[in-house]
A and B are shown apart, each in its own frame.
Chain A
Amino acid sequence: MSILLDGQSRVLVQGITGQQARTHLTYMVKYGTRVVGGVSPGKGGGEVGGIPVFDSVRSAVRACPADIAVLFIPGRGVRDAALEAIENGIPLVVILAEGVPHHDSADILRRARFNGIRVIGPNSQGMISPGKAKLGGTGGQFPERMYRPGPVGIISRSGGMGGEIGSALSRRGIGQSTYVSIGGDLLIGTAFVDLLPLFEADPETRAVVLFGEPGTGHEEVAAEEIASRRITKPVVAFVCGEALEGLPRGMSFGHTGSIITRGLGSPTRKKQLLREAGALVPEHFDEIPDLVAQALAGAQA
């Protein structure tokens, strides 16, 4: 098992005729992702790598119903494309673009909530259920270099560091059930607290790793969820960015969500809450594989 994505998931690629989309489409399909169609307004009727291209999501889903839409669309075009996927009822919409204006993200996420659609991102690197399927850039051309099937779920606000976690676990001989890159923006559709119950319910997953960052309240809410005992599987939670607490306000490393505003969202506090909630909270990133191994051994016993 896995969450949200497996080899049966029918995927629609929006912006399929773009260069990046074409490259990643090849990798996605080669890995086993079931891509049923693509959308590129004005280029309907053609095909990319044997995948039919439509002018609109509406005509695409009529011909080939989809469970997931993945958007290879630059930031300025995201609002329109995401609303199109949402209005056409695709239950899961994955937004990869960086630099989506905040007012656009708010509009998209509002409409998604209203229509009961799950949005991952913006600024997500995608997701992967190792050995089954992958979306977006995650894993690149050789996903097996970084990810292998196994019992650990990963949720990360940093796409790159999610890859580091996957890679470090795989080298340690620990595989992953699903890795979801939830995106580094201030406004994202899906947070830790939304995915923890899915991993809890997934029989294959036996432990979850979270990678948190400064800013927002997502780690704090995850801590509440863990403390509630609704999550019984061990959670290893790493939060980076303590250094930001000592820097002038307004400094950011490119993740708008990581800007600490009004004294809230400090990594120190997040870690404290997660620790109190019962999560395993390493000080060093490099401790993660050991902690996961221990958690798995403990969960077994």
Chain B
Amino acid sequence: MARLLEHHSLDLLAKGGVAVAPYRAAADPEAAAEAARALGGPVVVKALVPTGGRGKAGAVKVAETPAAAADAARELLGRTLGHFPVTQVLVQAMVDIREEYFCALTFDSMSRSPVVLFSAAGGVEVEDLVRHRADVLVTRPVEPGPDLPLFLAREIVESGGLIGQHLLDVAATLTRLYRVFRTNDAFLVEVNPLAVDEVGKVVAPSAVVVVDDQAHFRHPEWDQLIDPGSSNGWRPLTPLERRMREIDAIDPGSAIRFNEFADGRIACMLTGGGSGLLTFDHFLRLGEMPATTFDITPGKVEEKMYLATKSILGRPGLAGLIAGGNITNFIPIDVKVRGVVRALKDLGVDARRFPVVFRYAGPGVEVARELAAEVPGVEFYDETTSLELAVERIVARVRQAGL
């Protein structure tokens, strides 16, 4: 998933025929003042970062004049918001909001279909809406397809309590938002608030679009839109995470997923979605935060494993490494182990001092065991030792070492 910056999200809405409040992005206070002049009238200046909660964080400011817009931009630029540095602001014409609704499109796992969320109680955080005002939130799974039928949009808006012209106009907007959702392979389109202005026009003063990066292959235009950091959803990539992306790029046949955590000290390279979760749970139960999570899908993985291990072990303050994963069906694990062992040798790792635990099970396990033995002190386990026991082993070794 990749959350687009707000001006890119608004671009998609505007292209889809949804009325949006006019906007411009600005990278410095002068540009912000210029944007305010061009837009005319009072403006809203917002930090342009791919994260929510900007209002609460004080990163949305009203400016009556171009000079005030410059001041607001000066204050926001250079700040860090939800881990994201603010390098641009969005300057947007202020909407005279008379009515505000909430509207979102995403997927529902249980009906296996798109779902429309609508509420006449807009302008509040969606979490609050779900938790405290679920009675005024309309949740309607809809058939996937190129269009949301207008009658269905009307039903949804009617269920939200709207009547008269507002019902018709908001329903029409909803069908356009659905097309934005569909044609852009979005995972989420959220407009909050969806406003009615002083002349009765339905307008989107803000928008969140999260695209499904699994569909990147048919959206070359995303190359320019997706900030690599935003797919993590909560902070930009660290230098090590960026490095891991470079390593991943050497072969498109397999994919690495990697996360780094500032307060961990044991590098964890246990692969498999389920086993990654399970072992993470177990680390926390033992009072130990892993320093990394790592997953790699099948392919030509030896070189990737080599480079990844080398990079990860370059992180300062590490006290140990665990590598492996759940029992594999057909992926020869000796290929992976070969990469890891080569990195350990290159780095001159002595596992008697820097604990290293392997838990590899699957085809090639005998060769893998022999390879591991080439590095003194590596503990090697196969499927007869569970993932949880292997995690307990690395934690115990690290603690024994007094690290």
Contact = CB atoms under 8 A, between A and B. Distances in A.
B130 A160 contact: no
A240 B281 contact: yes
B377 interface: no
Contacts of B212: 101-103
Contacts of B131: 263
Interface residues of B, number: 58
Chain B residues touching A, majority SS: mixed
Interface stretch (B36-44, B104-112, B198-206, B305-313): B104-112
A137 B298 CA distance: 12
A84 B109 CA distance: 23
Given A110-B143, A141-B363, A250-B1, A158 B388 contact: no
A213 B144 contact: no
Nearest to A212: B274
A30 interface: no
B259 interface: yes
Contacts of A113: 112
A158 B212 CA distance: 21
Interface in A115-138: 125, 137-138
A58 interface: no
B65 interface: no
Nearest to B131: A263
Contacts of B57: none
Contacts of B238: none
Given A103-B185, A142-B363, A284 B109 contact: no
B218 A76 contact: yes
A184 B297 CA distance: 14
Interface in B340-366: 361-363
Interface stretch (A64-72, A197-205, A214-222): A214-222
B295 A110 contact: no
11 contacts: A101-B212, A102-B212, A103-B182, A110-B112, A140-B328, A217-B109, A221-B110, A240-B274, A240-B278, A253-B273, A255-B277
Contacts of A262: 126-127, 130
B29 interface: no
A186 to B, nearest CB: 5
A4 interface: no
Interface stretch (B20-28, B159-167, B379-387): B379-387
B277 A246 contact: no
Contacts of A137: 329-330
A106 B212 CA distance: 13
Contacts of A186: 107, 109
Interface stretch (A40-48, A49-57, A162-170): A162-170
A38 interface: no
B189 interface: no
Interface stretch (B85-93, B227-235, B394-402): B227-235
A257 B329 contact: no
Interface string A138-164: 111110001000000000111111011
A98 interface: yes
A160 B274 contact: yes
B257 interface: yes
A251 B281 contact: no
B330 A248 contact: no
A189 B293 CA distance: 29
Interface string B112-132: 111000000000001100110
B388 A286 contact: yes
The 3 closest A-B pairs by CB, nearest first: A250-B233, A158-B274, A140-B329
B291 interface: no
B109 A158 contact: no
A187 interface: yes
A187 B281 CA distance: 24
A157 B112 contact: no
Contact of A285 (B107, B234, B235, B388): B388
A237 to B, nearest CB: 14
A213 B277 contact: yes
A168 B386 contact: yes
Nearest to B117: A262
Interface in B270-298: 272-278, 280-284, 293, 295, 297
B387 A254 contact: no
Given A158-B274, A186-B107, A258-B273, A248 B386 contact: no
Contact of A240 (B218, B277, B283): B277
B278 A218 contact: no
A68 B297 CA distance: 26
A211 interface: yes
Interface string A237-255: 0001111101011110111
Nearest to B3: A250
B274 A110 contact: no
Contacts of B274: 156-161, 184, 211, 213, 240, 255
Contact of A109 (B112, B214, B217, B327): B112
Contact of B389 (A75, A167, A286): A286
Nearest to B283: A243
A249 B125 CA distance: 15
B325 A160 contact: yes
Contacts of B130: 262-263
A241 B276 CA distance: 9
